[in-house]
Structures are given as C-alpha cells and as structure tokens.
Amino acid sequence: MIPSSFTQGVWGKSWEEARGDNAVQGTANLGDEGVVLDIPCGKLLGSPGVVINGEKELSAAEYLYGFSQDGYALVLGNAVYSGGETRYPGMVHQVIRADYLMAAKGCREFDPSNVINRVDIEVRNLADWYGKSAYCMTFDSDDQDNMRFRALEYKKENDEAAVLLESEQCSITLFSKYIIPGLNVNEMTFRHQCCLKVCFSAGKTLEEARDFAVKLSKFLSLCMGFHAAIQRFALYFDGEESAIQYYAPLIDSPTPSKNAIRAMPFPYRALEREIGNYLSSWFDYGIDRRDKEDYLLLKRAGDLIVSILTYDWKMPVELQCVSASQALEAISRYRADLQSWPKAVFKQNRKELLKRTEGMPEEFVAWIQSRIGQNSKGAKRLINELMDRQKDVVGWLVPDIDKFVSEQQVARNTYSHGSAAAAVDPSNLYRLTMGTALLCYVILWRLFGMCPTQIRRELERSHFKSWVIDWLSVQYQSQDLVDASESEEDGDSDCSGRASDI
C-alpha cells in the first residue's frame, strides 16, 4: 500500500478532545514501520508499566482522533503505547502504534465503527491486466526504433465501465481514469489508471471489507501471475457520499518486471466472457453453494498457491515445498471420498478382524483396537485419485503421473515430518516445488470452470513459468516416449557400428 504523508496535527481520545485545549500535537502516517503516531511533546496514552495512585494508566485505545494541518480528519484504529521518554523537568515524548489509519478530507468528522456499503480498490498493474484504453496512440512509422508520435485518439466505445461480477452479495465494477498532470508546449504527460468499485448488498464491518479487498487482490494475483498488491483503499460508510481513505501495512511486493507483465497468464481478455463465474467460485457465491468445509479446502489451496507463485518471498525452499504439498493435499481432499472403504464394507471388515483377535495376547489386541477405527485414505492415494480425476488438465504437464506423485511424496514426507531420510537435491527440490505449485494452479482454474484447452492455450501463449513447464515435460515424460527414445538410440548405435565395420 502506498504510504501516507499527512502533516502534523492535534490529537485526542475523541473528536471533542482533539478540538479542545487538552489536545496534543503529533504526526501520524503509514510508513515502513507500519502506522505510527509520533508525539514529540505531550502525552495521549500511559505507559503499561506505570501505576499512579494504585491505578494503571490507559495504554491502549480502540480509536484515537486527530485533525491534521493539511485539512484531514484522522482516526487511528487499535492504538497502543509503543514507547517514549519522560524528562524531569521537561516534557513527555510518546510513540503510539496502530493497526490502521483512516482519513477524511476537509476535516470531516465520521464514525469509524459505522458499517461500510462500498469500497474502491486500486491494485498494482490493474490497467495492464485490463488491457483496454479509451485513448489510442498512433505513430508515423512502423519501425520501432524510429517511431514518432503522431496523435492520441479517443475511442468512446472503450470508455465504458466493465462489470466483473453482479451477484446477490455484491457487485464489482472496473472503471478507468486518465490523468494528464500538465500540458507544456513540447510535451504531454499521460497516465491511465484503473480502479475497482465494490458495492455490498449488506453493510460490512471494516474487517470484513478489508478481508474482501485482500481476497480480491489474491484473485487478481492468480490472474496476473505476480502480486497484485493493493495500492489504495477507500471506504464509503453508510449514509456518507464521500470516501474515507484507509491505510494499513498490507503485504507488498516489488514492482513486477516488464517480462513478468508480458507473461501475464490470464489477462482480462482471456477471462472476459466468464469472469463473473470465476469470481463467484473464488468467493463461493455460486448458485450450487459448496459446503463450508469443502470451500475452505479450496480457499486454503488458493491462498497457498497465490503466495508461492506470485508473492516475492525470500524463504527456504524446504518451507516452500511444505506449502506446495499442503496446497496439493487440500485440493486432493476437495469434494473427494475420504473413506478408504464404504461404511458397510468397513463395518464388516472390522467385525471380521475383531473375531480373529480372539486368543491373541492382550497387548496385540489393544494395539489392533486402537487402530481399527481408522478408515481414511492416505495422502498419496488421495493425490493419485485427484490426478486421475484431473488427467485432462494435468496430463500435458506431467505425462508420467506415477513418477511425479512418488517423487513429490518423498519430498513431502522428508520436509513435512522432519524425516531423517536423505535430503532432496536443493536445485531439484526447487523445480519440483514450483512444478507442484503450477500443477495446483492449473487444477484450481479447472475447478473454477475453465476448460483444459483454454488453460493450456493461455499458459503456452503467455510463457508463464515456461521453465517449469519445460522441466516437468522432461523430468516426467511418458515411459512410452522414454522407451522409444532409448530404442532409437540403440538403433543409431547399431547403424554406426555397422558403418564403422564397413
């Protein structure tokens, strides 16, 4: 999220106190260290370790209120005393940290606990993902090295807002804005930005609205192939027509490279016809609603895959392997039959086994009885069944599925359970981890309703994670192809041998 830059202001525990004589001066902003209110001379909250006349001072507040010199009404949420110093004689210096900061232009007082009916969200590279603009640039030459700008043409048909989702729960609309900061005699600066407007059918709490924005950002990250970080977030409270700006230390990543933008796997043009259905599946807004447990499995897998493939984490590959394995296991359990045997068969087998324990030593009987109630499939079996169900979408990525599952499970067991088995080669482990994540990625799109042909076409067109796809195709090529290749090599050897004899 883009940091704030509010000027110094006056602060209190209520709007009235902030306007009164007891207000303290301080500056609050979102920066590298989160949301911080610095009070150079004054006291707003007490130190948690100080007791005066047998009572502890208030060291935390749900809200703190302020007015900045540049004309904003500010609210700190979940504020806590963080540190400071007191000098005798002299003044008190305090540092207060908060979870978030809200700002209303024009020093407009507002109720921070009010319900929210609408949010506006700006995410990084949204205009690149959308790929449409009402303005088209034309040039005098087709030679890219010697092109000269000729004109900026406006096309009204491309200036319409795009409705991404219209459901009983909410609507999501994407609209564009064009910024021309200044006009000079010899140059013009032009910028195209896109924003998402979300209108809720029922009022949301601040936490619910923020969680929705983060979840929408993750969906766009899934589409873009890199982190669609939230840049700006504006709230519209019930009964308010003006926006309240929201600032919080949300997860961010470096700006993606031009190559990453060019390799965007699922831009808007690839999803346009079905974007509403994909978003409904992502938010579980479909008509045929999944039960809660199954949807949470899909959500868990989606969150992990977005984190592994699109966020710029600097973490050990062993932990990435564990995360990818968890995502694969979550998908394998989604709408799957988790029982190893049907209930009737299991009941009969259990009964038969108990009969056969008659006459056994008590320690053996106790051991059998402690385990006889287990009727769950193992992780490897569930994954094999998942691959069988999704072979139309994973077969081209991993022709030899048995070999992939076997090697993936070895890595999973080694690093998930702290096994003493020999470690997997780090470079091979990284490739296997990314391969597992990409496999989950295509299965997720299939579960959202995209056909396998389109998934493959968009990945091949964009070259998204092409090195992973190439590695998978070589590492897990079909055994038939391997045998054919070996036969050809043997034949070539024989021919060369006969030729040398001649």
Amino acid identity of 252?
D
pLDDT for position 66:
97
Q: d(Cα 472, Cα 259) in Å, to the nearest integer? A: 22
- Tens-digit pLDDT profile for residues 391-422: 999 999 999 999 999 999 999 988 887 766 66
The H or E element containing residue 306 is: helix 292-310
What does the angle CA 94 – CA 96 – CA 102 come to, to the nearest 5 degrees? 135
Instruction: Tell me how crowded residue 241 is: count the other CB atoms within 10 A of its CB.
Output: 6
Residues of the chain falling short of pLDDT 70: 49-56, 86-90, 137-154, 156-158, 180-190, 286-291, 341, 346, 373, 375, 419-422, 479-502
The residue length of the chain stands at: 502
CB 3 within 8 A of CB 249: no
Q: d(Cα 298, Cα 475) in Å, to the nearest integer? A: 28
Q: d(Cα 398, Cα 383) in Å, to the nearest integer? A: 14
Question: For residue 498, what are its two tokens?
Answer: 């006969």
pLDDT for position 417:
77
Name 166's bridge partners: 171
Q: What is the pTM of this model?
A: 0.85
φ, ψ of residue 192 in degrees (nearest 5): -110, 125
CB 301 within 8 A of CB 383: no
Alpha helices in 334-425 (DSSP H): 343-356, 362-371, 379-389, 391-394, 401-416
Amino acid identity of 430?
Y
Q: Which of 402, 401, 400, 428 is nearest to 414 (CA)?
A: 428
Give Cα separations from 418 to 318, 415, 438 (angstroms).
11, 5, 25
DSSP notation for 87-101: -SSS-EEEEEEESEE
Task: Return contacts of 80-84, CB within 8 angstroms, 24+ apart.
Answer: 80/45, 81/45, 81/46, 81/47, 81/48, 82/36, 84/39, 84/47
Contacts of 281 (CB under 8 A, 6+ apart): 447, 448, 449
CB 393 within 8 A of CB 446: yes
61: three-class secondary structure by DSSP: strand
17: three-class secondary structure by DSSP: helix
pLDDT for position 304:
96
Q: d(Cα 311, Cα 198) in Å, to the nearest integer? A: 24
Q: d(Cα 25, Cα 41) in Å, to the nearest integer? A: 7
Q: d(Cα 258, Cα 483) in Å, to the nearest integer? A: 41
Q: d(Cα 231, Cα 362) in Å, to the nearest integer? A: 66
pLDDT for position 499:
32
> What domains sit in the chain, N to C, each tagged with a CATH number?
9-105 (no CATH), 116-266 (no CATH), 292-338+378-481 (1.20.120.330), 341-376 (no CATH)
